[in-house]
Amino acid sequence: MEYAACIVPVAPLYTAAQPTAEMCSQLLFGETVTLLETDTVFSKVRLLFDGYEGWCLNNQLVMVDAAQAYRRTHLLNGDLWREISFHGQPMQMPFGAPLDLFDHGKAQIGPYHVVYEGRFWNSTMAHENKETVRWIAEKYLNAPYLWGGRSPLGIDCSGFVQQVYRFMGIDLPRDAYQQAEKGESIGFLQEAHCGDLAFFDDAEGRIVHVGLLLNDHEVMHAYGRVRIDAIDHQGIVNSETG
């Protein structure tokens, strides 16, 4: 088995080995993958964090060994954007990028020497209270909606809640329908607490959307952009149009 790490701030994952294919997800800097197939331009990869598969450009990855690939420190970049030194050159690291490859702020990723001097967020020490949940979630507020996105530059509904939960030390699957299978259901909206998830289905009963509840009457979700709207037992009420 061969492994690689993402060496750009955000790398698209495509549904096929061509740049015009649909983007299905993204890799963040430092995330590690298993290589499933490789050609001259693209590799099919499986993200070790959530098991998601897609095609990534080879020049956005670098080979790492199994020890690096599976290393977990539970540390994340806690700055919205943090300039790092990537082989002597500046590079921006997105909010929530893992710091598993770093020791005391330094990493050797393949041939590249990387220095990080930002805020280390330890997800194992996160307090699951409403203030912490809101602080994390609001870092993504007004980020544009992007199908397959996982960063403040563009994010989709399930990517948003996946990242917020990651900061809380909880690993969620990538897609909303998979996330709906986790946790426990509550009977009434009035029982909801900040950080609970609300799922929405289509006419066929398929889960197609997810949002993060802030309380029993507000939901933060990615719809056009990451926004806060009202919610009641009938669904989401647009805070701008009613």
pLDDT digits (tens, 9 = 90+) for 214-225: 999 999 999 999
pLDDT digits (tens, 9 = 90+) for 166-213: 999 999 999 999 999 998 998 889 999 999 999 999 999 999 999 999
Assigned token pair, 199 = 């799922």
pLDDT digits (tens, 9 = 90+) for 139-157: 999 999 999 999 999 999 9
pTM (two decimals): 0.96
Q: What does the buried/exposed string (b/e) look like for 21-55 if buried means 16 or more CB atoms within 10 Å of the residue's CB?
A: eebbbbbbbbbbbbbeeeeeebbbbebbbbebbbb
Q: How are the residues of the chain apportioned to helix, strand and coil, as percentages rounded to the nearest 5?
A: 15, 40, 45
| Residue where the block lists tokens 């209270």 | 129
Q: Which residues contact 20 (CB under 8 A, 6 or more apart)?
A: none
Report in angstroms the alpha-carbon separations of 27 from 13, 17, 55, 189.
Answer: 7, 16, 11, 34
Q: Which is it for the CA torsion 91, 22, 219, 188, positive or negative?
A: negative
Q: Which domains does the chain have, with CATH numbers?
A: 2-121 (2.30.30.40), 127-237 (3.90.1720.10)
pLDDT at 120: 97
